[in-house]
Structure 1
Amino acid sequence: MIQTAPYNETTSEALMALRDAALAHLSGDPVAYDAVGAVAALDALDLSAAAAASPLALEAFAAVVIARGRRPRRAQKPLYRLFQARLAAGEQPAYFEFADRISAAAEHGFSLEGVIFNRPLTDVDQPQLWRDTQAALAAVAEVFGPAFLNSGTLLGAVREGRFIDHDDDVDIAVLMPATSAEDAAQQWAAGIATLIARGVVEKRARRNLGMFKLNSTSGVNIDVFPAWIVDDRLYLYPHTSGELSRDDLLPLAACKTTGLPIPRNAEGMLVVNYGPGWRKPDPGFAFAWAAANKKFADFRTALDKAGQS
């Protein structure tokens, strides 16, 4: 099958023009720049989902948003998607070159509040990051219950004995004593409030309440997710919704390479999370968040209520 570009040459030229003009403005170019007009021009392109996910479109959106000077945090999601796209294509230098140009905008008075520039874990002191992970596991276990490696970090530890080369954060989970989605939401919200009061977690905007982030000394985010058991079936937001049993998780085992706690049936959890082909590296893997959130609709609804109480 012949693969076609996600947009035509005219659209490509328009995106490049919008991106380059915004980058020039961010670099302090004295030429007059119509920030509001650039946003309108970008919206007028009415890009398809595939086109909007292309590296060029993601760069244009991020540059235009930050060049406007309002709500720079809106550039965070496209920057992250750009990072993932470049990693999957083996184009890391292109991402870092663009990120450096955006980062330099702060020197010219542009706000980068809420903007994070990702980097692969291969660039991080991995022994120190494992120590940070161990400290995070202990901190959250004290509040919620047993904590263990999760998702991409579990995958790397089991499959490769280290962090995955193309990953950019750490994933852990906690098992709460909740016996329903409603109980889980209440305990999750209460635990986060406790960690905020202790200064372990920063008070955060209401985005995905189903997880929170811890900082590490390595500068890498440690993402924490909730788990609970109902009628001996395991629920771990957002990937496991009753497919595994209590015995698949408990008693927790020790990872052979890191010594850190992992599910008793770690391979079974990786099948649920990543599919039967989890043993083969896939830098382009994208988690199906929309479908996952539907499976956890009761928990997310209860979370919204708990967050308002």
Structure 2
Amino acid sequence: MIVIAVVGVACAVAILYCTHIYYDREQALYDALVCTKNVMTNEQLDHWITNGTLLGSARLGRFVMWDGELDVAVLQDSSVSSDVLQQSIDVLAASCFTYSNSMQAGSDLRGPRRWRLCTSRVCAEIHEFVSTKGSLFLSSVDGVVAANQTLPLVACQVQGVDISCPSNTTFFLDAAYGAEWQSGSLTAMF
């Protein structure tokens, strides 16, 4: 009888702990998304969700918890210089995140950068898209995408937050995950 009681208490503690961690992380992603959206809107930057965050929005309407981070794209075009964009990313880092502000440049392109910004609970990857002559350079794959696959941005939601998505979500998710993104196991994609 004592063994059953001990096992029962241990299971209850484990379930409460795991549930708290899950919802705490979900809340941290939500807070990071809302703050990121607000800062980028105030900084007048065109931005949208991408990669795993876009997948979660399209498939579930919420975050894919095992994806690992918030994925946001930002447009650097003739209206936003590279220096102004960097200053805006610095404002974002100071306003919404607590540490780990690293930046990587695209390997084959001059420019497209990716910033990794973190709190103690979650990270965000900010992917720079550079607009040149009707195309957008993707920093994540060092490739080129026709501007009409992204722009104009369309409204979508993730976790109840109104945010922007690329105009052709299917194109982006097919490129990132293959056709399986629509019906395949989400755990197999990460």
Q: Same fold (TM over 0.5)?
A: yes
The answer to whether the Cα contact below 8 Å between 2:98 and 2:118 also exists between their aligned partners in 1 is no
Q: CA RMSD in A?
A: 3.4
Cα pair 1:248 1:268 within 8 Å, conserved: yes
Q: Which residue of 2 aligns with 1:281?
A: 185
Flag the 1:282–1:135 CA change in 2: closer, same or farther, 3 A.
Answer: same
- With normalisation by structure 2, the TM-score equals 0.66
CA spacing shift, 1:239–1:138, aligned 2, 3 Å: farther
Does 2:111 match 1:208?
no
Q: Report the structure number with the largest CA radius of gyration.
A: 1
After TM superposition, give the deviation of residue 158 of structure 1 in Å.
0.5
**Structure 1 residue 134, shift from structure 2 partner:** 2.3
What is the one-letter code of the residue matched to 1:241? G
2:48 to 134, 137, 148: 148
Q: Which amino acid aligns with 1:281?
A: S
Task: Please identify which structure carries the higher strand content.
Answer: 2
Residue 132 in structure 1 maps to residue 132 in structure 2 = no
Displacement after TM superposition at 1:251 (Å): 1.8
What is the CA-CA distance between 1:154 and the residue it aligns to?
A: 0.4
How many positions carry a matched residue from both structures? 158
- Deviation of residue 131 (structure 1)? 4.0
The answer to whether the 8 A contact 1:149-1:173 is kept is yes
1:245 to 130, 146, 154: 146
Query: How many angstroms apart in 1 are the aligned matches of 2:94 and 2:28?
Result: 21
C-alpha offsets along residues 74-99 of structure 1, whole Å, 9 cap, x if unaligned? xxxxxxxxxxxxxxxxxxxxxxxxxx
1:42-61 matches, cutoff 5 A? none
**Structure 1: gaps spanning 5 or more residues:** 1-118, 287-309
Change (3 A) 1:133 1:228: same
Unaligned runs of 5+ in 2: 1-17, 106-112
Retained in 2: the 8 A contact 1:228–1:235?
A: yes
Return the alpha-carbon distance in structure 1 between the equivalents of residues 177 and 49 of structure 2. Answer: 15
Contact 1:227 1:237 in 2 (8 A): yes
Distance 1:253 1:221 in 2: 24
Q: Quick check: 1:235 aligned with 2:130? A: no
Q: 1:160: Cα distance to partner?
A: 1.5
Distance change >3 Å, CA 123–CA 205, structure 1 → 2: closer
Cα distance in 2 for residues equivalent to 1:278 and 1:250: 22
* More helix as a share of residues: 1
CA distance in 1: counterparts of 2:28 and 2:165, whole angstroms = 19
The answer to whether the 8 Å contact 1:249/1:263 transfers is yes
2:73 corresponding residue in structure 1: 173
Give the match for residue 191 of structure 1: 85
Kindly, what percent of the aligned residue pairs are identical?
20
CA apart distance, 1:226:
0.4
Distance 1:173 1:205, change over 3 A: closer
Amino acid at match of 2:115: F
Distance 2:173 2:52 in 1: 9
CA–CA distance in structure 2, aligned partners of residues 194 and 148 of structure 1? 15
1:264 CA drift (Å):
1.2
CA distance in structure 2 between the partners assigned to 1:204 and 1:164 by the alignment: 22
Change (3 A) 1:203 1:282: closer
Q: Comparing both chains, which one has the higher relative contact order based on Cα–Cα distances under 8 Å and sequence gaps of 6 or more?
A: 2
CA distance in 2, matches of 1:226, 1:238: 8
Distance in 2, matches of 1:274 and 1:203, equals 29
- 1:255 maps onto 2:156 in alignment: yes
